[in-house]
Amino acid sequence: MTRTTSLALASGLLISITPLARAEEPIGTPDVAPPRSIEVAWGQTFPNLGFAGDVEERRVVASTVVSVPNAAWLRIVMSGTTLGGDPAAEGAQIRLTSLTDGGVQMLNGESLGWSEGWSVFLNGDSVLVEVLASGSQPFSTLVIDRVIAGEPSMGWGVRTICGTTDDRVLSSDPRQGRLSMGCTGWLINDLNGGFLTAGHCGGTGTSVVSFNVPLSTSTGGLVASAPADQYTFEGTSIQFTNGGTGNDWEYFGTVPNSTTGWTAIQVQNARYTLANAPTTSTPIRITGYGTVAAPVSLTWNQVQKTHLGTTSSLSGTTFRYNTDTTGGNSGSPVINESTGNAIGIHTHGGCTSTGGTNIGTARQHTGLTAALNAPLGVTRSGNTTNTSNLYVIGDLANNLGTCSTTNGNFDKQATVGRRHQGLAYNQFDDNFYMINTNRELYVVQPFTGAATLLGTVSGTTLTFTGLAFDPFTRTLYGCTGSNGQLWRINTTTLAATAIGGTTTNQLSGLDYDGFNRRLLGLADNAGGTVLININPTTGAQAILGALGAGITDCNGLAANSAFGALWTIDAATENVLSINPATGAATVVGPTLGLFGANYGMAARAIANVCAADFNSDGTLDFFDYLDFVAAFSSGSAAADFNADTVIDFFDYLDFVAAFSTGC
């Protein structure tokens, strides 16, 4: 039955909406239970959001409460919203706060795009929506297009319970999540922590997987997980078939949580190993988020429950069993109790109080196998092999790996950290410095990704968007993109000291070119991305040239100190670019076949012969190096600051002589 509801809003408008409710279905249909909800047109716009001021000052520039009386939960849809500034730096953010339980979701320009403008589920009937901005950044526009409001669940009865009683019990397996379409999804042992569910469940870039689902209300109303436990589907990763019993599966991935930056597999830290369904009778378990009806407590409605039964038959890839399920269990794993392996996907109901079986798709389905062998989107990122020393950290699966300098393809080595911003190679210890959005500085090992936290960099509240390590002076540099500032970072105290003043260049990448002994940066300026030469003593910046037409968003820079080559990734195309060191002109190397956005870092692991006393960098230590140093020292050239203390004095001369005497 379809029901129309009249809803009086705080504005005084009366809006009629039709809820997405479902009546009880006959035996043999898909086991889904989409949450009942209503869609409310909102149409509220806040233009020209921003202010002139210091970039280190952050303010709430717009605030409103969205309220739908008596709603169980809300999802705010913000289609048409634009958030000004760099999402990897001091760009504007949206903060959504449930006024019922205080749950908070943060969205920046990038994560808002991932979810197609939709928020996660926020409990209660009122949500505070705020826009936060930093001073002197591009303006934003907030558009609240519509609101999805949850209604109490109607329940689904016991139509696919095998026998006269519902024998399921509460469970807390970290591998399963509740899907926003009214199904169950589960993590598998693929490359990047992808999910399986039933093909008829559907799913788009607005769909959500929720973990750590709380008990429902006493009347069966769904309660949303904390925003930090909800993950949005990555739309390009979805592969599925909805072909009826035995031919019903879906494979997909999710993006990092918009508030925490962690991926689902990093937080849940558990996944299923897949195995083929057996042909003989086998004890199996099904764990998922099915509905309930009295006499079962309604607080168990669509929260995680499990039941142990046995298989009945396997015909082709149609898998039958007598394990209890109800609506909402579609997509649940069918688990071999003796091995713990997932051997199928539950899809359809068929049990009754007097007989019948429930039905799923066996793991050995050829279409499912083909999809698992040819992942897409975030599930594919890093699924190649190369022997390159061009390192990148921070695809949408939070991976460390290498990009081929021949074809651009990204090869995952390890999953590490979150919200990566800069990467710099330290050849003396054969490791990398890495910094994230929270200004946390790490030492990261190549190959394994093992990361050691050094601490949080002090001296500024701004976001570092790049790192560079000068092997000659053993100096770590950083840049803050939103104000174009260069910094020297003390790796012992973690204090950052500004070098020179701020600039209008929106620095997005930084690295030290040891081959030419110079500090380089990339800036995503209004007219396109440019290559910049930076004086490490004064901070003065000189543009060497533009990367090329249409190249506007390059968030990392790598310089190979062995021969001076430069690379970046164009976020718009996901292509690796080779940059001409003299002119800045970029040439496409090839696709990464991964997903890199606003947050990543690049560096080349190049074991070069670093000899500080080889002053003219000709590869030979001889008297010409001494003469060239004396000439630079006499003229007051910045190159004569041998000890990198920003002062050219007799100590530089003494340090050079000591290094020259020691040799290379």
Segment 424-473, tens digit of pLDDT: 999 989 999 999 999 999 999 999 999 999 999 999 999 999 999 998 88
Greater model confidence, 297 or 641 = 297
* Pairwise CA distance, residues 334 & 365, whole Å: 14
* Pairwise CA distance, residues 169 & 43, whole Å: 44
Q: Are residues 244 and 335 in the same domain?
A: yes
- Residue 435 pairs in a beta bridge with 422, 441
**Is the CB of residue 531 less than 8 Å from the CB of residue 518?**
no
Q: Are residues 467 and 599 in the same domain?
A: yes
Q: Are residues 630 and 549 in the same domain?
A: no
Greater model confidence, 642 or 543 = 543
Helix, strand, or coil here: 138?
A: coil
Q: Is the peptide bond before 375 cis (omega within 30 degrees of 0)?
A: no
Q: Are residues 128 and 184 in the same domain?
A: no
Structure tokens belonging to residue 658: 């000591």
CATH code where residue 264 lies: 2.40.10.120
pLDDT(521) > 80: yes
Query: Would you say the C-alpha torsion 446, 393, 535, 476 has a positive or negative sign?
Result: negative
* Pairwise CA distance, residues 480 & 163, whole Å: 64
In a domain, 291, yes or no: yes
Q: Are residues 343 and 396 in the same domain?
A: no
**Which residue range is the domain that position 127 belongs to?**
5-150
Q: Are residues 263 and 191 in the same domain?
A: yes
Structure tokens belonging to residue 151: 């209604």
pLDDT at 159: 66
CATH code where residue 418 lies: 2.120.10.30
* Pairwise CA distance, residues 133 & 140, whole Å: 8
Q: How confident is the model over 530-585, as pLDDT tens digits? A: 999 999 999 999 999 999 999 999 999 999 988 889 999 999 999 999 999 999 99
In a domain, 371, yes or no: no
Q: Are residues 629 and 600 in the same domain?
A: no
- Residue 146 pairs in a beta bridge with 41, 77
Q: Are residues 338 and 385 in the same domain?
A: no
If pLDDT is split at 50, 70 and 90, which confidence band does 620 have?
A: confident
Q: Are residues 225 and 299 in the same domain?
A: yes
Greater model confidence, 3 or 523 = 523
In a domain, 178, yes or no: yes
Structure tokens belonging to residue 607: 């074991």
Please compute the mean of the pLDDT values over residues 9-34 and round it to a whole number: 49
In a domain, 134, yes or no: yes
Structure tokens belonging to residue 130: 């705020």
CB count, 10 Å around CB of 591?
A: 16
Q: How confident is the model over 99-154, as pLDDT tens digits? A: 999 999 999 999 999 999 999 999 999 999 999 999 999 999 999 999 999 987 66
**Is the CB of residue 465 less than 8 Å from the CB of residue 89?**
yes
For the chain, give the percent of residues with pLDDT over 90. 82
Q: Are residues 256 and 394 in the same domain?
A: no
CA distances in angstroms from 463 to 88, 90, 541, listed in the order given: 8, 7, 19
Burial of 457 (0-12, 13-18, 19+ CB in 10 A): buried
Helix, strand, or coil here: 460?
A: coil
Please compute the mean of the pLDDT values over residues 33-52 and round it to a whole number: 95
* Pairwise CA distance, residues 421 & 443, whole Å: 13
**Is the CB of residue 602 less than 8 Å from the CB of residue 509?**
yes
* Pairwise CA distance, residues 96 & 99, whole Å: 9
Q: Choose among 570, 537, 574: nearest CA to 555.
A: 570
CA distances in angstroms from 565 to 163, 557, 559, 615, listed in the order given: 70, 11, 6, 21
In a domain, 616, yes or no: no
If pLDDT is split at 50, 70 and 90, which confidence band does 495 have?
A: very high
pLDDT at 30: 86
Q: How confident is the model over 73-108, as pLDDT tens digits? A: 999 999 999 999 999 999 999 999 999 999 999 999
* Pairwise CA distance, residues 120 & 655, whole Å: 59
Structure tokens belonging to residue 474: 């053993």
Q: What mean pLDDT is reported for the chain? A: 92
In a domain, 581, yes or no: yes
Q: Which of these ranges, 25-34, 272-281, 562-571, 577-586, has the smallest mean pLDDT? A: 25-34
* Pairwise CA distance, residues 522 & 509, whole Å: 5
pLDDT(56) > 90: yes
Q: Choose among 403, 406, 392, 397: nearest CA to 377.
A: 397
Q: Choose among 366, 326, 378, 319: nearest CA to 344.
A: 319
pLDDT at 428: 87
Helix, strand, or coil here: 76?
A: strand
Strand 558-559's sheet: what is its strand order? 558-559, 566-570, 575-579, 586-591
Quote the strand ranges of 234-364, DSSP E: 239-242, 248-252, 283-288, 305-315, 318-321, 333-336, 342-348, 358-362
pLDDT at 156: 57
Greater model confidence, 609 or 236 = 236
**Is the CB of residue 49 less than 8 Å from the CB of residue 131?**
yes
In a domain, 385, yes or no: yes
CATH code where residue 79 lies: 2.60.120
Q: Are residues 401 and 358 in the same domain?
A: no
Cβ-based neighbours of 631, under 8 Å, separated by 6 or more: 637
pLDDT at 656: 86
Please compute the mean of the pLDDT values over residues 483-487 and round it to a whole number: 97
* Pairwise CA distance, residues 27 & 356, whole Å: 10
Q: How many domains does the chain have?
A: 4
Q: Are residues 316 and 201 in the same domain?
A: yes
Residue 276 is classified by DSSP as P
Structure tokens belonging to residue 453: 């936290």
Task: Please state the separation of Cα 293 from the chain's center in Å.
Answer: 38
* Pairwise CA distance, residues 440 & 444, whole Å: 12
In a domain, 414, yes or no: yes
Query: Would you say the C-alpha torsion 204, 206, 211, 214 has a positive or negative sign?
Result: negative
Q: How confident is the model over 212-258, as pLDDT tens digits? A: 999 999 999 999 999 999 999 999 999 999 999 999 999 999 999 99
